[in-house]
Amino acid sequence: MSPTINGFLPVRAELTMGTITTGFKDAYLSGSGPHLAAVLTPISTPDDPDRLRTFYQFSNASFLSKDLQYALLHGKSLRIPKAEQNAWVDIFSAFWEAVGEILKCEDRHPGASIVAVFNAWKKVANTLIRGYSSSTSLPAWTLPCLYTVGKYLRIFAINADLEAASLGSAGFGFSDDIAGDFEKNAHLENAAQIINRMFTLCLSDRAPIEESRKWGIYQMTNLLFKTYFKINSVGLTKNILRAIKASSADLPPLEAFPKAHIVTFKYYVGVIHFLDENYVEAEEHLTWAWKMCHKDAFKNRELILTYLIPCHLVTTHTLPTKELLAPFPRLEQLFRSLSTCIKKGDLVGFDQAMTAGEEQFVKRRIYLPLERGRDIALRNLFRKVFLAGGFEEPKDGQPAIRRSRVPVAEFAAALRVGTDTNGRSRVDIDEVECLLSNLIYKGLMKGYIARERGIIVLNKKGAFPDTGV
Amino acid sequence: MPRAPAFSTAATPAYTPVQARRSLAHNKVNAPANGYPASQANMAMPDSEDRKRVEFPPPVRSYVQRCFAPENQIASVTIPEMQEKLKIVITEAAENQKLHAIDWERLPLPQVMVQNERNKILANPASSNWASQPSSPGDAARKRKSTDPHQLQNGSPPWRKANNNRFEDRVTHPSTEKKQKMTLDQSSKSKANLEMRRRRFEGLSINGNSPSSPTESPGRATADQGPVVGRCQTLEKNYFRLTSAPNPDTVRPLPVLKSALDLLKKKWRHDGNYGYICDQFKSLRQDLTVQHIRNEFTVSVYEIHARIALEKGDLGEYNQCQTQLRVLYAQQLGGHPTEFKAYRILYFIYTRNWTAMNDALADVTAEDKKDLAVKHALDVRSALALGNYHRFFQLYLDTPNMGAYLMDMFVERERLSALCAICRAYKPVVNIRFITEELGFESDEQTAHFVINNASAELLEENNGEVRLLTGKAGLLFENAKAAAYRVVDIKDMCIDQSKYESLSTFKSISHTSSFVPLAFDEASMELCHVGPKAMSELVVPTRAM
């Protein structure tokens, strides 16, 4: 989801006061994870456009670790254990090298490449992971660093893949076949593996919960999901969910985590269920995300609705109101004509709206559930036929009841409305029966087909459940 | 390390690479201490004895005669070159006990083979600038020039840029004997061969930086180095999963692959031995891949393999081809993209992989929708999505191309699904004749059998010469049968997904696990192809020893 969620944005500005190294000391003294993460952010800020360059120029390869040792760890009465000191020097050394590659790109240096940036950044990530996984591990409050490094790893990987693609493909590996999506996302897949290690790092921490890396679990999961979606391997998310479920007993309750982490997590879980056609579960998670999402996170709310609306259509046969869609013109445009057609029982219009929106629907992966709206449109059309049939002759004293025996031919006539007379839109009676039997099977109509007599016998009460008749 | 001298000799121009290789072979036979089990060495001995006793059958004799016939000579190939090649062909055939198996009438004459090899290199100059090392061995080239003046006259700019192996391939004829040796190994003892390759590879990386070693990495490309240029001339080749860089001696160049495809097509028509064909196609695909050949021929190889796999219901293999074809079609290389887009949609209906279905729909362009097969597949999908069994079975009875093979995979389950709806909607009975027509059965008997097999005979009742289905009781039984039918696919689907995830693992992890995987692979595939028990033991033993 959007970066507005990660919560670091406001913090960055404060850091522009000092250099990267003093930023480290300040953050460490105040014990602020987000500040520390901001220090390890590989971009310059608007207030300090030379942030990276100043840092890169402050040392050179041969004196780097000495310089870092001094700049990071001296003065300001920092009390950092020796092993941890070394870890930070290693991390910042890798960071320094990565910054060098980034600056090369910025300067359009002839040897510059995003692939090189990615590789250098990968080293930062691995050094950081090592910092956490070694016996004298980095304290859990520094965890936002892990997320920030992971986040930029993903960004650099995507750009590196683009760069590699523009340069033409490299190796084929030893695979037997020509190609897969394999090559296309090689760097991002690599990044996914590293982020996966970060995830494990959080999940498998056995420290007491107050000082546990477990607090980073959902944030890392979200990053990982995002990456898996991008490389089109949604299936891999199942492993992650399984792992989280397996250790759910050791995890704090969802409510205890920052809402930003949980809303994103719920959104992804909802979409994962959605793609598996588990619309009931999907709806549950998406509704949660919808309710808890920050009201100003416009894009996120729009994303949630994109999936929640088709979900709702499938599970409850209800359509979005004008008020709901009013703030989201894009969604309004996406769903409005479809909704109108479903409501009116206009099959021809429905098919046209599906065709018109097909590209967008397919892109968002909502085509298949929306298609099911046709059943609702069909139900509404047949309901009109039923209503048009009027009432039986009222028997003395009894309240009038609707005509419940409807010839199949009347339904066929309804289907012909709005279609032209030739081509495939010609309706044959067997097909009408088939459509009717489906609605009955799906519980959208109550009654049965008496084939010999060519009529439908509808329930006297509730022939069309939940529609008032 | 016994290997070291071999390489130093290879680097000395006075020795040809062949001799280096021979010393390897000797090591192998004489010194089981090398890491090859004694049984392996013993196996090699009788082989060489066999060779001496070989009686040449008449077709071979006539082949040799034709080689020397004046009308068959090619100006650019000298008699000694041709003789050299001929020797290789015959020796190889004899060692493989294929003297009777090879179709000598049809086998290209050695002079043609030599020419093809050259043409292949000439035709492909574009791929030659991948070589990361400058093909510097200037002095070696000059020396060879004197031994082989004829060929350098043809030398065109591509040679300059050509990598070592091309150079080698073209210039040093003695080395072809080494190739032959390797080819034999490949077909009979690939495992041992693999180990040899690996060792040589290690050895190479030791002296790899030495600029005075023109024969370093003789045509051995690492995975990221670039395409291999094959020089294997045999048409048939068993599939063997690569675990290290491919050896150009066992890779067939494009012209040979083309003849191989023709041969396979013929064999498929005549014998219809799917195990053999599938194995051969896999090796064909592998050869194309390692040489980075992506053209119309590549497309047709995958298309033909996909069609054959479809016909035999081998959906795993079909799916592999389909995945590759999608990539190939994206590059506009020709072929029949709409036919296979249609199959792909039908395939995902079968596996009920909606995520993939969504991708497949995204691939369909407005232009594609005009195609009969694509339109059919889309209609099938939408009919099923809306539960319109009436339309679905109309479409089933009128399926273009080979789509019916795919539809057969899920038609039963859709019948069950339709019967569930019919039983719920039609009361109290429904004529079996109606079901036969609606659900595309061939006859009322077939329908009745279907009901009996999936539910119960008690649901059928005869009345005035009409058989009727008692829909009231039938619903639940069909629901159960339907659930079972869908469950089967879910399991299959899961397996398919699993394989997809594996393919996501990186190159590195593949090479880690590979030493174990191929064993299982080969043993399984061996049963499919025509290899005697002896060959099989040769294949398996060295690996175990590794």
User: Per-residue pLDDT tens for A380-395?
Assistant: 999 999 988 888 777 7
**B63 pLDDT higher than 60:** yes
The domain made up of B413-489 is a member of CATH 1.10.760: no
pLDDT, chain A, mean:
85
**B33 pLDDT higher than 70:** no
Task: Please name the residue of chain B whose CA is at the shortest distance from the CA of residue A231.
Answer: B504
The C-alpha of B503 sits at a distance from chain A's nearest C-alpha, in angstroms, of 8
Query: Helix or strand or coil: residue B462?
Result: strand
Please give the average per-residue pLDDT across A404-422, as a whole number. Answer: 81
**Residue ranges of B 514-543 with Cβ closer than 8 A to chain A:** 514
Q: Band the pLDDT of A462: cuts 50, 70, 90.
A: confident
Measured between beta carbons, which residues in chain B are less than 8 angstroms from residue A449? Answer: 425-427
Please give the average per-residue pLDDT across A218-229, as a whole number. Answer: 93
List the one residue out of A319, A311, A355 whose CA is nearest residue A335.
A319
> Is the Cβ pair A371, B382 closer than 8 Å?
yes
Measured between beta carbons, which residues in chain B are less than 8 angstroms from residue A434? Answer: 388-391, 438
**A67 pLDDT higher than 50:** yes
Confidence at residue B492, expressed as pLDDT on a 0 to 100 scale: 52
Measured between beta carbons, which residues in chain A are less than 8 angstroms from residue B285? Answer: 176-178
> Is the Cβ pair B324, A175 closer than 8 Å?
no
**B474 pLDDT higher than 90:** no
Sorted by where each begins, the domain ranges of chain B are: 58-120, 413-489
pTM of the shown model: 0.66
Measured between beta carbons, which residues in chain A are less than 8 angstroms from residue B245? Answer: 174
Residue A357 lies in a domain: no
Q: What is the DSSP secondary-structure string of B247-278?
A: PGGG---HHHHHHHHHHHHHHHHHT--HHHHH
Token couple for B536: 């099989």
Q: Band the pLDDT of A332: cuts 50, 70, 90.
A: very high
Task: Please name the residue of chain B whose CA is at the shortest distance from the CA of residue A449.
Answer: B426
> Is the Cβ pair A362, B506 closer than 8 Å?
no
The verdict on B424 touching A (C-beta cutoff 8 Å) is yes
> Is the Cβ pair B507, A434 closer than 8 Å?
no
Residue A177 lies in a domain: no
pLDDT tens profile A441-460: 999 999 999 888 888 998 88
The verdict on B122 touching A (C-beta cutoff 8 Å) is no
The C-alpha of A34 sits at a distance from chain B's nearest C-alpha, in angstroms, of 33
> Is the Cβ pair A437, B497 closer than 8 Å?
no
Which of A198, A218, A252 marks a domain boundary?
A252
Between residues B31 and A274, the one the model is more confident about: A274
Please give the average per-residue pLDDT across A273-300, as a whole number. Answer: 92
- Segment of A397-411, A421-435, B442-456 carrying the highest mean pLDDT: B442-456
The C-alpha of A445 sits at a distance from chain B's nearest C-alpha, in angstroms, of 10
List the one residue out of A103, A99, A87 whose CA is nearest residue A146.
A87
Full domain range(s) for residue A416: 394-458
Between residues A404 and B381, the one the model is more confident about: B381
Q: Measured between alpha carbons, how far is B356 from B381 in angstroms, rounded to an integer?
A: 13
Residue A329 lies in a domain: no
List the one residue out of B90, B121, B81, B82 whose CA is nearest residue B231.
B121
Residue A427 lies in a domain: yes
Provide the number of structural domains found in chain A.
2
| Cβ neighbours for B203, distance < 8 A, ≥ 6 positions apart | B3, B4, B6, B7
Residue A135 lies in a domain: yes
Which of A252, A283, A306 marks a domain boundary?
A252
Q: Band the pLDDT of A134: cuts 50, 70, 90.
A: confident
Q: What is the DSSP secondary-structure string of B187-250?
A: HH-HHHHHHHHHHHHHHHHHHTT-TT-TTSSTT---TTT---------S-------SSPPPGGG
| Cβ neighbours for A332, distance < 8 A, ≥ 6 positions apart | A325, A326
Lowest mean pLDDT among A98-112, A213-227, B162-176: B162-176
Confidence at residue A136, expressed as pLDDT on a 0 to 100 scale: 67
Residue A219 lies in a domain: yes
Domain of A403, CATH number, reads 1.10.10.10
> Is the Cβ pair B362, A374 closer than 8 Å?
no
List the one residue out of A298, A274, A277 whose CA is nearest residue A286.
A274
Q: Band the pLDDT of B86: cuts 50, 70, 90.
A: confident
Q: Band the pLDDT of B54: cuts 50, 70, 90.
A: low
Q: Measured between alpha carbons, how far is A204 from A214 in angstroms, rounded to an integer?
A: 8
Measured between beta carbons, which residues in chain B are less than 8 angstroms from residue A450? Answer: 426-427
pLDDT tens profile B324-372: 888 888 888 888 999 999 999 999 999 888 888 888 888 888 889 999 9
Tally of helices (H runs) and strands (E runs) in chain A: 22, 3
Please give the average per-residue pLDDT across A253-280, as a whole number. Answer: 92
- Please report the number of interchain residue pairs, chain A to chain B, with beta-carbon separation below 8 angstroms: 141
Between residues A62 and A437, the one the model is more confident about: A437
The verdict on B426 touching A (C-beta cutoff 8 Å) is yes
B226: left (phi over 0), alpha (psi -120 to 50) or beta: left
Confidence at residue B161, expressed as pLDDT on a 0 to 100 scale: 37
Which of A199, A234, A252 marks a domain boundary?
A252
Task: Please name the residue of chain B whose CA is at the shortest distance from the CA of residue A428.
Answer: B390
Between residues B99 and A370, the one the model is more confident about: A370
The verdict on B286 touching A (C-beta cutoff 8 Å) is yes
Please give the average per-residue pLDDT across B420-425, as a whole number. Answer: 90
List the one residue out of A337, A225, A231 whose CA is nearest residue A271.
A225
Confidence at residue A425, expressed as pLDDT on a 0 to 100 scale: 54
- Segment of A43-47, A284-288, A359-363 carrying the highest mean pLDDT: A284-288
Measured between beta carbons, which residues in chain A are less than 8 angstroms from residue B323? Answer: 177, 180
Other CB atoms closer than 10 Å to residue A443's CB: what's the count?
A: 10
Token couple for A209: 């919960």
Please give the average per-residue pLDDT across B375-398, as a whole number. Answer: 92
Q: What is the DSSP secondary-structure string of B281-296?
A: HHHHHHHHHHTT--SH
Residue A96 lies in a domain: yes
ipTM higher than the 0.85 cut: no
